[in-house]
Amino acid sequence: MRFLIINTDYDEFLRWLYTTHRGLENLPYDEQMKVRSESLFGVADFYSSNLRKLGHEAWDIHANNEFIQKAWAREHGISVPELKWQFIWKKNIIPWFIRVKSGKWFYRVLSAQIKYYKPDILLNQAMPGISTRFLKEIKPYVRLLVGQHAATRLSESEDFSCYDLVISSFPPTVEYFRQKGISAELNRLAFEPRVLSGLKAGGRPFDITFVGSFQRVHSSRVALLEALCTRFSQIRIWAPKIDHLSHGSPIRKYYAGPAWGREMYQILGNSKITLNHHGDIAPYANNMRLYEATGVGTMLITDWKVNLPEMFEPGKEVVAYRTPEECAELIQYYLTHDNEREAIARAGQQRTLREHTYYHRMQEFVEIVRKYLR
């Protein structure tokens, strides 16, 4: 089968990618895609590479990466608007020029790619970012239109009936679409083992780490970490930004900046304990940190969720807390009981590598889509 996978990236990540790799935007499409995949951010090329291992054809699209998309367009003879300079004037301020982005290229390039690759399965992993109106127009060019969405709220104004199938790692999302009369199946998140070959050896210099973000759904996360910061001076925290935290938040003292992809995995791998917190959502375990942390062999302390035992055995493969107080007690205990901590970390990694890799998930995904292909 032929799979085409649509992803989008955070603006903060794209700025980091092109700032870190100077001149990347001027390179050919394949070279930009190689750097993007090797960043290991998000799902990188984990879906497509494992689908190819299973004998299928698969390609990735990073739909909102303007440099990559326009490089593809140029190399395939597609005319798209270039960035333009615009003269800006404000009262009492010296005038200046700015580069003004045009969104006209977005769907023009995406449409051309879908028609070019002629996929059997179009998997849209960015459901909020791709117009359903566009998808309805392009649907005749694919055999099966599949959406993927995890836990965040979707717009009620969108008509998702254009999708033949939705997959989700979050049980309530599966139920949400089924109630709307749209076929939906559970397909959990995972870990990519090839990440391990890129990690540098160096022990575990960090006692306690948290790598994540602070958004509106994370008020309880902020409260938890602020409490832990007042108790554990060795904690280190990485996040894209902390702008909205109060000026007096103790998190600021232990904030180490953003960590994307490969650097994030290295931080996890260098940690004795890393923390996970799902945010203010329904009581289900469902985020990538479950698999990323265990996958690199770090002991994970995560918030208790009713379905956690479906993925990991609490107390043997991960450790779970129900309150901030219990979280602090667990941290204190396992920092001083090295053998127990390391045994749990090993067991968690073994479970992830045995059952929770992207190869396993793509095997499941292929079986799912075969049921729906007509």
Task: Round to whole Å and give the CA distance between 183 and 246.
Answer: 43
Q: Is the dihedral of CA 321, 322, 325, 326 positive or negative?
A: negative
Is the pLDDT reported for residue 97 higher than 50?
Answer: no
Cβ neighbour number for residue 34 with a 10 Å cutoff: 13
Segment 362-366 mean pLDDT:
99
pLDDT (tens digit, 9 = 90+) per residue, 20-78? 999 999 999 999 999 999 999 999 999 999 999 999 999 999 999 999 999 999 999 99
Q: Please tell me whether the overall predicted TM-score, pTM, comes out greater than 0.85 for this model.
A: yes
Task: Round to whole Å and give the CA distance between 238 and 260.
Answer: 10
CATH topology agreement for domains 2-190+358-372 and 193-355: yes
| CATH topology for the 2-190+358-372 domain | Rossmann fold (3.40.50)
Extents of the domains making up the chain: 2-190+358-372, 193-355
CATH H superfamily, domain 193-355: Glycogen Phosphorylase B; (3.40.50.2000)
Q: Is the dihedral of CA 242, 290, 300, 319 positive or negative?
A: positive
Segment 175-198 mean pLDDT:
97
241 compared with 216, residue with greater pLDDT: 241
pLDDT (tens digit, 9 = 90+) per residue, 300-353? 999 999 999 999 999 999 999 999 999 999 999 999 999 999 999 999 999 999
